[in-house]
Amino acid sequence: MSTVELTKENFDEIVSGNDFVLIDFWAEWCGPCKQFGPVFERSSDKHDDLVFAKVDTEAQPELAQAFQIQSIPTLMIVRDNIAVFAQPGALPEAALEDVIGQARGLDMDEVRTSVAEAQQAEQAQEK
């Protein structure tokens, strides 16, 4: 499956409309991004049940800022509208496959519970 270009216009539709989205934040001038690009593409061919998307941080600075992207490439995995993984750096193919496997194996009920508990704790601290 080919990758989808994410923009501020289609971001919510694509991420909210899919259960499992891998997002590559990149830029044309970035050497490590160019190294990671083919790895990301090959992985998208292996996992046609997942959505692979790219955000050009130069063309979409609002998205990069919204996700506090400080270095590129950064890989983010969103499952059920929850970011379950975010890491800067160009991953080798084996590491990317491992991360995908770990993200597939997550118990999303447990993740949602953890997120809710963290939000409650944060709200309690604010009071």
pLDDT for the residue 11: 93
> May I ask the CATH architecture of the domain 4-126?
3-Layer(aba) Sandwich (3.40)
The strand pair at 74-79 and 82-88 is best described as antiparallel
Residue 54 contacts by C-beta under 8 Å, 6 or more apart in sequence?
A: 3, 4, 5, 6, 23, 24, 25, 26, 40
The verdict on pTM exceeding 0.85 is yes
Q: Where are the domains of the chain?
A: 4-126
Catalogue the active-site residues. Answer: 30, 33
Q: For the residues of 72-115, what is the DSSP string, one character each?
A: SSEEEEEETTEEEEEEES---HHHHHHHHHHHHH--HHHHHHHH
Q: How many Cβ atoms are within 10 Å of 104's Cβ, its own excluded? A: 13
- The tokens describing 102, both together, are 């770990």
pLDDT for the residue 84: 94
State yes or no: cis peptide before 88, omega within 30 of 0. no
Kindly list the averaged pLDDT for each block of 10 residues, start to end, along the chain of length 127: 87 92 96 95 93 96 93 96 93 96 93 89 83
pLDDT for the residue 88: 95
